[in-house]
Amino acid sequence: MSEIRDQVYWMQTIPEPTPEPLVGHVDVDVAVVGAGFTGLSTAYHVKQAEPSTTVAVFDAESVGFGASGRNGGFNMTLFGLTMPVTAVRFGKAKAKEAHLYMERAVDTTRDLIEDLELDCDYEHTGFLRVATSEKYEKRIRHDVKFARDLGLTGIDWLDADELADEVRSPLYRGAWWEPRCGILNPAKLSFAWAGVLRDLGVAIYEGTPITDIRPGDPKAILTTPQGAVTASKVVLATNAYSHLIRPMRFKQAPVWTHIVMTEPLDDRLAEIGWENRQGIEDARDLVHYYRLTADNRLVMGGRDVSIAYGENMDRDLNEATFRSLEKDTIDTFPSLEGVRFTHRWGGPVSVTLDMAPAIGFLGDRQIAYSIGALGHGVSLTHLNGATLADLVLERDTDLTDVFFVDRRIVPFPPEPLRFAVSQAIRGYLRAEDRLYDPKP
């Protein structure tokens, strides 16, 4: 944990965790495995719906240790890869349903932060998906039209001149503009959530890996290194770590995304503009995502992903990708030439083979799971927590009726084929990005 904390800027803005692992036996109504946004939100929504329900959250490391403490900090509407890709896989009606779910997810996350006064440097700044080549411009224009043809609103095209009034880069040709997006400090948000849950009576056991899970009648049994848990319902909020759980082994795979961060930009921002501080992505398959922090550091992430073999979860650092991201930062904003980069880090995200999220149950509906946030999960995981709460409380709601609940998941093959398939998919995405924009 200390090594990760030294790398990740966000984690350095919160108190150092002091894990209190489970020792002995605890019996609860709902056991949540994983103390990221999915698990924290699930616990909150269970307690809100039925306050008498006993809930405990378990994490092998600490609250927000995984993607929830290391991501780019975008509260945004992206579901899967893009809306047209979702339509190809599931049909246009479900692509629209997915986007409406994500609009609700963004609003829910923002409202929870405001209503519960969660201290996380939240700013509702909007989102720009920028075109950096002629082919990417055509792609984004097509996607804007696609959204409008589905009857969706709140998405517009900005031409180059309109975009230059917002943020200036020699690479920009125009952008998808969507006001429904926010930026935040994800580690602060995780830390704030933990405080809220403890006040509600939710027990959080950090430093407590779950080493075995067995369904049971009437209760499931979860084993830890120093104790055991019995629970009527179990939620696997493990996302990118889910393949380490035997029944989840082939449902998803982790890939690692990487981030670099500059020193505070101060006066250097004047030439760029960016006064409205929007979150920005480009239109690549392996996207760049970037934004400003509360103290005007620039966070630049993406460009490529790392893949691990089998159960290896040690791919956070990628020197080649870090160097490329630092170069990409200067190519995007040449006035930042000479800026000092202060932080580099990475983290795993959960990817399904068909590139879409999934929520479901294992076996007899005693154990629920959520996977496949694909690196855009801040908003998705918060609303998925409400969906999971309804599922484990056996409530039929509009959330439990969405198409990706209990959907069929296309499984990954076992190793070594899983690794080969993942490499092939990454190779295709890299090749298409080179085709759309040949610049190195």
The three-state secondary structure class of 162 is helix
* Pair of tokens at residue 50: 């039925």
Residue 348 phi, psi (nearest 5): -85, 145
Asked if 148 and 312 count as a contact pair (C-beta separation under 8 A), the reply is: no
Q: Collect all residues with Cβ–Cβ distance below 8 Å to 150 and sequence separation of at least 6.
A: 83, 92, 95, 96, 99
For each of the domains in the chain, give its residue range(s) and CATH number, in order of start. 2-436 (3.50.50.60)
Tokens of 336: 């930042």
Of the CA atoms within 13 Å of residue 44, those in its CB half-sphere come to 26
Burial label for 337, CB within 10 Å (0-12, 13-18, 19+), is exposed
Q: Tell me the CA end-to-end span of the chain in Å, nearest whole number.
A: 35
Ordered per-residue pLDDT tens for the chain, 440 residues: 678 999 999 999 999 999 999 999 999 999 999 999 999 999 999 999 999 999 999 999 999 999 999 999 999 999 998 999 999 999 999 999 999 999 999 999 999 999 999 999 999 999 999 999 999 999 999 999 999 999 999 999 999 999 999 999 999 999 999 999 999 999 999 999 999 999 999 999 999 999 999 999 999 999 999 999 999 999 999 999 999 999 999 999 999 999 999 999 999 999 999 999 999 999 999 999 999 999 999 999 999 999 999 999 999 999 999 999 999 999 999 999 999 999 999 999 999 999 999 999 998 999 999 999 998 999 999 999 999 999 999 999 999 999 999 999 999 999 999 999 999 999 999 999 999 987 76
